[in-house]
Amino acid sequence: MNGAADLLSRYLRQRVELGETELVFEGQPLRSLKEAASVSVAPTPSRTTDRTTHRPIAAAGTRPSGVEPPPLVALGSLGELGRIASVCTACELAETRNHVVFGEGSAQADLVVVGEAPGADEDRSGRPFVGRAGKLLDQLLAAIGFPRESVYICNVLKCRPPRNRNPSPDEVASCSPFLQRQLALLQPKAILACGTFSAQTLLESSEPIGRLRGVVHAFEGIPLVPTYHPAALLRNPGWIRPVWEDLQRLRTLLDAE
């Protein structure tokens, strides 16, 4: 087990052993907390797509000529949106990606988790949060009673930035319409924004995550809880407590829905 996951596990076990109830969520049986505590952790030269509509400006090569996709706001299902994303060439990341990582999970999910961008594992598999940070995310979600399959998980960027560099403002601007449409279609009861880019993008803020977290915000009327990114948590196990507090805040607000 790695440092942060181990710490989380020990933290939860300690709570159980101490008989503390303050970290146990209402309606969440103690057994789940015990189970959670024992889980192991395992040159793009020219723009080819109009940024606002994601329509190809030049023939993308994958579509029959003359057939244009509708603007994203007109798309009525995640499936249709995902198909458009899978051939998107709106930014340079299309040149280097192996897979577009659109997102996955239940279309009826109460909770949507929004991360930053796919990493190497996600680019290889086409699935969000499947690497080390993803394993930790799964554990954290399970600890508050949300198994991975009960939530919807996606990222701000749908394609991996080379060498996991930070997304550029241009890439965020190009890709955000997909996230916005995803959230409009999903209409979750709450959003968990993991990390600086996710929280800043959804809240249209330039505040650091350390200042954004700690309170419930809203995105288009949907309660939004910002927290540290699980990858950052792996590097800074000391953040487990604030993350845990954020997750409790999330659980409490979902319980009240």
8 or 231: whose CB is closer to ligand URA? 231
34 or 148: whose CB is closer to ligand URA? 148
Helix (H) or strand (E) holding 219: strand 217-219
List binders of ligand URA among 51-90 (CB under 6 A): none
Q: SS3 for 161-214, per residue?
A: CHHHCCCCHHHHHHHHHHHHHHHHHHCCCEEEEECHHHHHHHHCCCCCHHHHCC
Q: Is residue 119 involved in binding ligand URA (CB under 6 A)?
A: yes
69 or 115: whose CB is closer to ligand URA? 115
Q: Is residue 115 involved in binding ligand URA (CB under 6 A)?
A: yes
Q: Using CB atoms within 10 A of its CB, is residue 62 exposed (0-12), middle (13-18) or buried (19+)? A: exposed
Phi-psi region of 67 (alpha: psi -120 to 50; beta: other; left: phi over 0): beta
Q: Per-residue x/- marks for ligand URA, 225-254, CB under 6 A?
A: ------x-----------------------
| Strands, E assignment, 104-166 | 104-105, 111-115, 152-155
Q: Is residue 155 involved in binding ligand URA (CB under 6 A)?
A: yes
Q: Is residue 118 involved in binding ligand URA (CB under 6 A)?
A: yes
Q: Which of 117, 183, 232, 243 binds ligand URA (CB under 6 A)?
A: 117
129 or 239: whose CB is closer to ligand URA? 129
How far is C-alpha 62 from the geometric centre of its chain's CA atoms? 28
- Using the rule CB under 6 A, give the single segment among 63-71, 76-84, 126-134, 200-208 that binds ligand URA: 126-134
Q: Using CB atoms within 10 A of its CB, is residue 147 exposed (0-12), middle (13-18) or buried (19+)? A: exposed
Q: Is residue 129 involved in binding ligand URA (CB under 6 A)?
A: yes
Total number of residues that touch ligand URA (CB under 6 A)? 13
Residue pair 55/87 in contact by the 8 Å Cβ criterion: no
105 or 131: whose CB is closer to ligand URA? 131
